[in-house]
Amino acid sequence: MTQPFGLSAESRAALLHRLAKRRGAETAAPDAGTGRDLSTLPGAADIGMVREAGAALGLESPFFRPHEGVAGARTAIGGREFLNFASYNYLGLNGDPRVAAAAKAAIDLHGVSASASRLASGERPVHAALEAALADLHGAEACIAFVSGHATNVTVIGHLLGQRDLILHDALIHNSVVEGARLSGARRIAFPHNDADAAERELATQRRRHGRALIVVEGHYSMDGDVPDVARFVSMSRRHDALLMVDEAHALGVLGATGRGVAEHRGVDPAGVDIWMGTLSKTLSACGGYVASKRTLVDLLRHSAPGFVYSVGLAPPLAAAALESLRILRAEPRRVASLQANAALFLRRAREAGFDTGRSAGLGIVPVVLGSSVAAARVAAALFEAGVNVQPILFPVVPERSARLRFFLSAEHTAEDIERSVAALAAARDACLPRLRAG
């Protein structure tokens, strides 16, 4: 009989014993005299544990593979072409000649870098143009752009809230929100994923004990591909005198008939949301983040948010690339329709093939839940051999029983690409999973 995980019973027991010892060493108090031993830093043992497990299972790491060109619906890795489902190039604008030309023109005009903080060194016209376009997109009075999407949430939440305040967020919210909440010192409560009833119960119970309250949800959840009931959160925030922040990182260009995001998708007046947050690194094919809100809040952030005041300004070519991508998004809504059709087709075919796709709405992100990290890693490796690039999401990023492959669709994928990929996925499952069930 084929042994589970490709190991003998003795080898498997030995591996588990070594991993358990590593975990024990990680959680134990550091010994005296290890203060300069970098291998004892939190998390270092976990990385070694994962590498050891991968080596024992004969699995090459799927992470940090170098792409040899633009990573769109197709990509080149190691001299081979792959169908690519591991990039956020939702509308195929990264690599679009118009976007590249805008970035090159900005380099010719302003150079590669803003060279200093915008507060200290002054504006470039492209910064103001981008922020005005993003504010208009969200129906907001003003907008401010930061150099990093992750840093946007960290610095904005960390700066606006304090120890007397309350932050209520979805349990699956992005790490950047959690880090911002920790920085703020506010009380942080996570409610069960997409459970507005549970969120309101918490808010009703806790609101009077705190100064300000902030509710944070995502417009399109990057791990599960589902969408919140934004109207419910808007009304909740009004009833309990709370601010509502919506992270649109994976919603812009993906949700709504014209890609305006979750407000358009749900038919909600965007003015009901106090703080719209988004990133420039996905649909807008650049790098950075932004907040669109009332002019009072944006002006406060421009003059006092540490991640803006004490950081170099957004690089002009990135601002220009994002602005041109936004222009194309507004002018060519067919790209959004193509993306949504591709995602719906992938979701339908995956479900027909018997896969667990969780709560995905089939709008741009489709998870395929395989139930164990080993299963996800093996199936991803088999797909890579078959010419399909998709990343496994493993414990501890998700609970072990929720380990998955996460497929990001693009407007540039074809129906043939999707049919071929789902067929390869089914073949990889049939080849790998019986081995994992044996014993």
Under 8 Å between Cβ of 80 and 387: yes
> Would you name the residues annotated as active-site residues?
222, 250, 282
Residues paired with 70 in a beta bridge: none
For tokens 């501890």, the residue is 396
Give the C-alpha separation, 404 to 231, whole Å.
30
Pairing verdict, β 404-408 and 365-369: antiparallel
Between helix 44-56 and helix 9-27 the angle, nearest 10°, is 170
3-state SS, residue 211:
coil
Structure tokens that stand for 49 in this block = 């544990």
- Phi and psi at residue 110, to the nearest 5°: -120, -5
Q: Name the DSSP letter for residue 128.
A: H
Tokens standing for 206?
A: 């806790």
Q: For residue 182, what are the contacts with CB-CB under 8 A and spacing of at least 6?
A: 158, 188
* Dihedral over Cα of 374, 377, 379, 382: its sign: negative
Pairing of strands 142-146, 187-191: unpaired
Please report the sign of the dihedral spanned by the C-alpha atoms of residue 117, residue 118, residue 120, residue 124: positive
353: phi then psi, degrees, rounded to nearest 5? -85, 0
Is there a contact between 175 and 166 (Cβ–Cβ < 8 Å)?
no
Q: What span, in angstroms and rounded, lies between the C-alpha atoms of 313 and 302?
A: 11
Rounded Cα–Cα distance for residues 231 and 25 (Å): 47
CA-wise closest residue to 145 among 173, 120, 177, 117? 117
List of residues 6+ apart from 232 with CB closer than 8 A:
196
**How does DSSP assign 71-82, residue by residue?**
-SSEEEETTEEE
Could you tell me the maximum CA-CA distance found in the chain, to the nearest angstrom? 70
